[in-house]
Amino acid sequence: MSGPAVGRLAGFRRVRVGSMNPPKLEGVRMALAAYCPDVEILGAEVASGVAEQPCGFSEIQRGARNRAEAARKSGACDLAVGYEDGLVEVEGAGWLNIGCAALVDAERASIGLSSGFSYPPACIPPAVEDGEPIGDVFDKLWRQHHPDSGRAASALSTGNVGKLSADVLTRAEYTRHAVLCALVSWLHPELYAPRAEM
């Protein structure tokens, strides 16, 4: 269900995303569809400027912000979005995967976070200690235990969170949550300061 565009989203026509990953692009599209359904979503291949396997909130949000700024510089747009996943150590819970969305235009910047989920414990040491991307580590482990699963044929794969949640929470939906949380200050600009420093 979509309604009229509100807040700073009212005039948006083109959004650039710092990724060519189909589920990430779909997550951004899904988030914005409720507010400006006719907006054009364009992907841009950009560097995150952080480690291939980000660890800690600081590195994760820096990667998302770098992607957003690079996407904004890649061509004309009303809004740029960056998204970065990484691992955060939570006391009593171990390492959780968290996604961060960064939104930016010439006047405003914001971030929003996804929910967090845990990868199997065997995936953590190679990712945290050796810097191996946890997605690659998980794929190997998953194929060992599910040899017939193969790789999803669809471009809109449910992703690792989809596999672990039995396809209830997809990669696109996981991304959508972070983007929606980042949109809050754009929907109510009268309540939030214009631009947080990136």
- Beta bridge partner(s), residue 85: 99
Architecture of domain 7-191: Alpha-Beta Complex (3.90)
Look up residue 57 and give its DSSP letter: H
Per-residue confidence (pLDDT) for residue 148, from 0 to 100? 77
DSSP string over 96-144:
EEEEEEEEE-SS-EEEEEEEEEPPPGGGHHHHHTT---HHHHHHHHHHH
Look up residue 49 and give its DSSP letter: S
Which regions in the chain score pLDDT beneath 70? 1-6, 150-156, 195-198
Task: Tell me the Cα Rg of the chain.
Answer: 17
- Could you tell me if 111 and 86 are in contact, meaning their C-beta atoms sit under 8 angstroms apart? no
- The amino acid present at 184, given as its one-letter code, is V
Task: Name which of 196, 194, 181 is nearest 27 in CA terms.
Answer: 181
Per-residue confidence (pLDDT) for residue 1, from 0 to 100? 40
Per-residue confidence (pLDDT) for residue 107, from 0 to 100? 87
Residue 20 CB neighbours (<10 A) = 12
Per-residue confidence (pLDDT) for residue 147, from 0 to 100? 83
Per-residue confidence (pLDDT) for residue 153, from 0 to 100? 46
Cβ burial of 60 (10 Å; 0-12, 13-18, 19+) is buried
Task: Name which of 50, 59, 63 is nearest 88 in CA terms.
Answer: 59
Per-residue confidence (pLDDT) for residue 51, from 0 to 100? 96
Per-residue confidence (pLDDT) for residue 4, from 0 to 100? 56
Cα angle 171, 177, 179 (rounded to 5 degrees) comes to 105
Both tokens assigned to 1? 């269900």
pLDDT tens digit string along 145-167? Answer: 988 775 544 546 889 999 999 99
